[in-house]
Homo-oligomer: A and B are copies of this chain.
Amino acid sequence: MPSKKKENPVDFRGRVWIDGPEGTFIGYGRVVLLERITKHGSITKAAKSMQMAYRHAWDLVDSMNRQSGKPFVELSTGGKGGGGARVTEEGEKAVKLFWQFYADFQDFLKREEQKLGMCK
């Protein structure tokens, strides 16, 4: 049977994100971070679990909380366990919204590959 392997390995790629008042608001890395925070209950553990520096993770959370009307993550310091982080409903909605956007974009890339791929 005839192979459909591409002679020229070109592929259509891209990135998508959502901008807010200060620039980047919701993106791939931020959404994965939110999911890890939901799973682990703290910025520290979430950052470690994805090889991200705590400083960087904290900056992202702070950026999202500043740009959203209602915070995506509730932080608490001190107390039982030393404190922690909890993703709010608003944050959960943002996660779902982005994954929908992301999935639509992957479909778009596939369609473009079909449409324009052979014009190389």
Instruction: Identify the A interface with B (CB < 8 A).
Output: 8-21, 25, 69, 93-94, 97, 100-101, 104-105, 108-109, 112, 115-116, 119-120
Contacts and interface: CB of A to CB of B under 8 A. Distances in A.
Given A12-B16, A13-B19, A18-B13, A119 B105 contact: no
A103 to B, nearest CB: 11
Which secondary structure characterizes the binding site on chain A?
Answer: mixed
Contact of A9 (B14, B21, B100, B105): B21
A14 to B, nearest CB: 4
Contacts of A20: 8-10
Given A101-B116, A120-B97, A16 B13 contact: yes
